[in-house]
């Protein structure tokens, strides 16, 4: 196994982790900004008001994107395990 091959494999792994987590992170960020804006406008600083909607948005995004995430992970795992002989060299 050459250093270039290892770097390419690690790069693919990190990019897969980024793309799989990106939709959930974006939804969490947008929900957090929206909740913070509502808190600033209404001067409400209740911790339950900031936590529960963010959690609900995150869970909804997870349920919606879960089939896509699983498909991406299965494709990546099958590509890694399909070339297992290549890693043994």
Find out whether 78 and 44 touch, Cβ atoms under 8 Å. Answer: no
DSSP state of 89: -
Q: What residue has token string 């770097």?
A: 7
* Span 40-63, pLDDT tens digits: 898 888 777 888 889 999 999 999
pLDDT means per 10 residues, the chain with 89 residues, are 86 95 94 91 82 92 95 93 77
């Amino acid at each position: 196994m050459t250093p270039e091959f290892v770097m390419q494999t690690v790069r693919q792994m990190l990019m897969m982790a980024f793309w799989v987590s990106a939709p959930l992170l974006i939804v969490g960020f947008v929900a957090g900004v929206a909740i913070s804006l509502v808190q600033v406008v209404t001067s409400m600083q209740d911790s339950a008001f900031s936590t529960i909607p963010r959690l609900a948005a995150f869970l909804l995004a997870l349920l919606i994107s879960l089939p896509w995430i699983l498909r991406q992970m299965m494709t990546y795992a099958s590509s890694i395990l399909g070339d297992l002989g290549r890693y043994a060299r």
